[in-house]
Structure 1
Amino acid sequence: MTPRMTRGALKHCQRVLLLGVGLALGAASPSASAVTTLRITHFLPAVASVQRQVLDPWCDELEARSGHEIRCQIYPSMQLGGIPSQLPDMVRNGVVDIAWTALGYSAGRFPRSEALELPFMLPAGGDEGSRIAWAFTQGPARKDFADYHVLAVHSDGGAVFHSRDTLIYDAADMAGLKLRAPTRMASRMIDALGASAVSMPPAQIADTLAKGVINGASAGWEVVPPTKLDEVTRYHTEPAAHQATPTVTVLAFLMNKQSYERLPDKARAALDALSGEGLSRRFGKAWDDAIVRVRAKVKNDPDQTVITLDDAAYNGMRDASRSVTEDWMASREGGVDRAALVRALEALVEQKEPALE
């Protein structure tokens, strides 16, 4: 009696154990194999608004919406190597799945999109500029992005002239200054205004200014905290709210095409739902919030001075830099009809839309 009960109990325990292992494997295997980790990189520190205000929450939403089929691994500050101008190649070649990059850092790579950076073309502010940038790059400039799946394109809200020792009230005050320029178009605009442009990425600005190699920089307000620009400059010149910005840095969130196509259907649908114009304007809104926050901090510092261009100074700068736009339109490099692109962009700028809440 006792031996039979022992053997029966043993068999029962074995069945229960095998069933438990089977259930565990059945539950674990599909989820483990279905998770896709997207490698995302960018050129700013992890404390910058792009990661804290957009990328981190966006990744959380993407993971939840995909049913945890997608997760992100973010590499800030070029942690995977290379320099900012190489980010488009890193995406195209599959070194990373996604990169957030400034189009103008890779001079000549996105020729049609350069129109967005022309002097006094886009309105100041991130949201409206990002609406225009998304529409333009998905329409007239779409050939620039044939090698990528584009998740978002946005504006940095526009340029501010930050200087160490010189109050800039108009173009005459810029004569002889050496100013950092973020893009090729910004360089041409700065040269046209009488200063000398020096190209460099954000990470180099503060050190170069501190050493006296340059006198100031063209950069959006959002860049100021992560680059410590306010620690090496005292004067900041910006356009008025009703004026167009001297230039913008156009930023894009680019994905490797194969990485996108390999996603399972549910994961791809989640990514699609969180991309496009909505994400572009989400970036833009984050930049608007940063502009308000950083400008207020700088204005409240008694050692800092913020100057707003009056209409006469604005018109003078716009007229002085008009040749940059005319020369760009006249160029037929690469067979691109640049005059048609400018006309299309001007039409988009005229199509005013309300800001996102």
Structure 2
Amino acid sequence: MPKFRTALRTLATAGLCLAASLPAFAAPEILRVHHFLPTGSTAHAKFITPWCAKIEAESAGELKCQIFPSMQLGGSPAQLIDQARDGVADIVWTLPGYSAGRFPIVEVFELPFMISTAQATSRAVWDFVQAHDRKEFEAVHPIAFHVHGPGHFFMVKKPVASLDDIKGTKLRAPTRLTNLMLASLGASPVGMPVPQVPEALSKGVIDGAILPYEVVPAIKGHELTKYASEGDPKFAGIYTTVFVFAMNKARYASLPEKLRKVIDANSGADTSAWIGKVYDEADGPARKKLADNGNTINTLPSAELEKWKAASSSVAEQWTKDVSAKGADGARLLEAARALIADHSR
């Protein structure tokens, strides 16, 4: 019996020594990612989920995401940027424009007829913020900035073929500048985040909405509207919207250096351009879904769009005055944004 106890003690000691010699396996860093669209959306399925899978693979499983779509952590889309600032979520995806007047400089990309492709314009936004607009986003750690593809009109009762068709209609717009654009074209703009659009359409609160193609199936816009009016693809897009993918600064700083490097490798201009490309590629299948549903799609010719561009020129003038009144050089910033888009569109 004493020999048996001695053997057990020897085995236990050997086991402890072996355990001490093995590398310690730390629990993975779980990043809570919060956004406002459903799981079937382009953002969730084709950008956020693949991004999370990529950082998990590149960190050998030491970084993992827990994604909360459709505002599952509470709050409203407009509050997401503060949730990243305050640590309610570790990473958020949202529109700066949902907080009207708070991010006035980056709004320059939401002026009428600015966008070429989402890929080129998204890279331009990243570069612009690094050069001219870091202060607006200093409360968070930006991972990427991007835009969606050119926006179009989705109407319930009649198509938009000219400026006369817009006058007097109640149209949803996502941001301050798109509201100003619609007003300059003669519409009555109704500002609202995209999750509110289906109910507003179904209840007749609005006659239509301006949206990119890619988001329409996710909110069943192809079922709630009958007519789509798109701009001539050879002409600059009627409008786009800026998005930010941002992380809580303290959470980023708390990561080990090797994991911060993984985040860094999946941030910046290339990541922004990749997200933009995802949105460019999502527009075609979404457009086909409308066509397959029997929705009428008409194209606004360049000659008509020139009239729209002239009618909405006051929006750029107003933006320039607004940011200049706050101490920025609005004219120089507008020129810089246009030059970056042109440079990245070559």
Question: What is the TM-score normalised by the length of structure 2?
Answer: 0.95
1:351 aligned counterpart, secondary structure: helix
Residue 189 of structure 2: aligned partner = 197
The 1:62–1:353 alpha-carbon spacing in structure 2 relative to 1, beyond 3 Å, is same
Q: Tell me if 1:101 matches 2:104.
A: no
Change (3 A) 1:72 1:28: farther
1:325 correspondence with 2:316? yes
Q: 2:304 maps to what in 1? A: 313
Distance 1:23 1:219, change over 3 A: farther
* Structure 1 residues not aligned, in runs of 5+: 1-5
Distance in 1, matches of 2:15 and 2:176, equals 63
Is the 1:100–1:252 contact (alpha carbons within 8 Å) kept by the matching residues of 2? yes
Matched, 1:139 2:134: no
For residues 253 and 15 of structure 1, the distance between their equivalents in structure 2, rounded to whole angstroms, comes to 55
- Compare CA radii of gyration and give the structure with the larger one: 1
Per the alignment, in what secondary structure is the counterpart of residue 254 of structure 1? Answer: strand
Unaligned runs of 5+ residues in structure 2 are none
Q: Report what 1:149 is aligned to.
A: 141
Aligned-pair CA distance for 1:16: 2.4
Deviation at 1:21, TM superposition (A): 5.1
Structure 1 residue 29: Cα displacement: 4.9
1:13 corresponds to: 8
Count of paired positions? 345
Give how far 1:334 is off: 2.3
Separation in 2 of the partners of 1:129 and 1:295?
21
1:8-47 deviation per Cα after TM superposition (whole angstroms, max 9, x unaligned):
3432333323433564577585423xx2111110000122
**Alignment identity in percent?**
40
1:36 aligned onto 2:29: yes
Confirm or deny: 8 A CA contact 1:170 1:316 kept in the other structure. Answer: no
Question: Partner residue of 1:251?
Answer: 243
1:274-313, aligned counterparts within 5 Å? 274-302=266-294, 304-313=295-304
1:80 is paired with a residue whose SS is coil
Q: Which amino acid aligns with 1:251?
A: F
Partner residue in 1 for 2:180: 188
Assess, with a 3 A threshold, how the Cα gap between structure 1 residues 88 and 25 changes in structure 2: closer, same or farther. farther
What is the RMSD of the two structures over their aligned residues, measured on CA atoms? 1.7
Kindly indicate whether residue 79 of structure 2 is the aligned counterpart of residue 86 of structure 1: yes
How much has 1:141 moved relative to structure 2? 2.2
Of 65-74 and 8-17, more deviation after overlay is shown by 8-17
Offset, 1:296: 1.5
Deviation at 1:59, TM superposition (A): 1.1
Quick check: 1:163–1:233 contact (8 Å CA) kept in 2?
yes
Structure 2 letter corresponding to 1:320: A
**Residues 353 and 160 (structure 1), Cα distance of their counterparts in 2 relative to 1, 3 Å cut:** closer
Scaled by the length of structure 1, what TM-score is found?
0.92
